[in-house]
Amino acid sequence: MSKKIKRRDFMRTSAVAGLALATPKGKPQGFPTIFTQSAVKPLVISSANGNRYKNGGDMTAVQRAFTMITQGADVLDAVIAGVNIVELDPLDDSVGYGGLPNAEGIVQLDSSCMHGPKKRAGAVGALEGVRTPSLVARAVMDNTDHHLIVGKGAQDFARNMGFKIEDDLNTVHSRQIWLEWKRRTDPAHYLNPKERAQVWYREGMKMVEEGLIDRDHFYGTINCDGINSKGEICGVTTTSGLAWKIPGRLGDSPILGAGLYVDGAVGAAGSTGRGEANLYNLCSFVIVEEMRRGAHPKDAGMEVLKRIKNNTIEKRLLNSKGNPNFGINFYILNAKGEYAGVTMYERSSFAICNEGGPQTLTCDVFLPGKPND
C-alpha cells in the first residue's frame, strides 16, 4: 500500500515542479520567472490636421505626442503638446491663432481635456485672447474644482494663471476671409432669421467650394488621444469653432461626452464636424460605452453615426436623399490600443502615430456620396 501524501506536501511539490517547468534554459534552478501581460503598444490618434501642420518645426502633432509618450511623459502632457503645434500655426485656420472668427470678427476658442488615470477633466469655452486654449483647459483641471469655465470668466482665469492675453487672434488671412464673408452676407441684413440662416450657410459653403476655406475648417477642430505602454489613456480637443458663429456659441468641443470623452479603463473618443449633432447625441460618451460592452472602435463609431442619422429629422438639415446634409467624424481608441476613424461621408481622413511613424489614413464611411447630394 502506497504511503498517503499530505495535501500541503502535494501543493509544495507541485509548486516546485511548476517553477522548474517555467524556468527558461540557462537560468539557475529556483530563480523565479515572472510572467506579465504583454504591454500595450503606444499609439496616438487625431483628426487629419494632427499630421499636417508643423508651425515651422520638424514634427506634426501626432509625432510630437508619440515621441513624448515613448520617452515617458504623461500622456495628457504629450497630446496637449501635440495640439499646441496646430493651435499656434497660423496656417491652420480651424484652431487657435488665426482660427476663423465669429460673426463679429472675434476669435473665440474652446477646448477640453481628460486624464484617464487621474479621472480628472477641464475645459474652457468662448475664450478670447489666448492662443493655446488646451493649456487653459489643463489649468482648469489642475487648479480648480470645476470642469468648465467660459467667456470673460475663462479669460480672467487664464490671466490669473499667467497666460498672455492678446487683443486679437486674427491673422491677415483669417480677417480677409471674414471680411469676404461679411461682404457676401451684409446685403441680407434685414432678412428674417430663417432666411438669414440660409444665407449664412449658403455663402459659407460657396466659399468652401471656391477653395477659400478648407471644408474641414468650416467646422474646424483638432482632437488628439493617446495611450502609453502602461495602458494609460488621455485626450484633448481644441477648436475655434464653427466659422462665423453667433458670438458666445459653444459647440461640442468643450463639452465632456460630446467633443471628447475618456474612460481610462475603456478608451477615448473625440470628434470634428457639426457640433450640434454631436451635442444632441453625446456621441463620444456613447462610443466609449459601446466599447465598454465589447464593441470594436469601428463598430462603436458606426453605431453613433447611425444614431445621428436617425435623430436628424429637420428638413433644413437633410439633403435630397433624406440624409444629414453635414459631415461629422470620430477618432476612437480603446484600452487594447485598437483604433478607428469613422465618418458620415467619404473624403475624410485621420492621423495616427505608432512605432511605424506618423500616418494619414482614410476614415471608414457610414453613408455613400457627399453631404449635399
**Catalytic residue numbers?**
221
What is the C-alpha to C-alpha distance for residues 13 and 201, in angstroms, rounded to an integer? 78
Is 145 in a helix, a strand, or coil? coil
Residue 363: which residues within 8 A CB-CB, separation 6 or more? 329, 341, 342, 343, 348, 349, 350
Q: Strand pairing partners for 340?
A: 332
Query: Hey, how many other C-beta atoms are within 10 angstroms of the C-beta on 186?
Result: 8
Sign of CA dihedral 273, 279, 281, 285: positive
What is the C-alpha to C-alpha distance for residues 53 and 91, in angstroms, rounded to an integer? 8
CB of 61 closer than 8 Å to CB of 226: no
Provide Rg for the chain, Cα atoms.
24
The single-letter code of the amino acid at 27 is K
Q: Which of 235, 243, 236 is nearest to 216 (CA)?
A: 243
What is the C-alpha to C-alpha distance for residues 364 and 373, in angstroms, rounded to an integer? 19
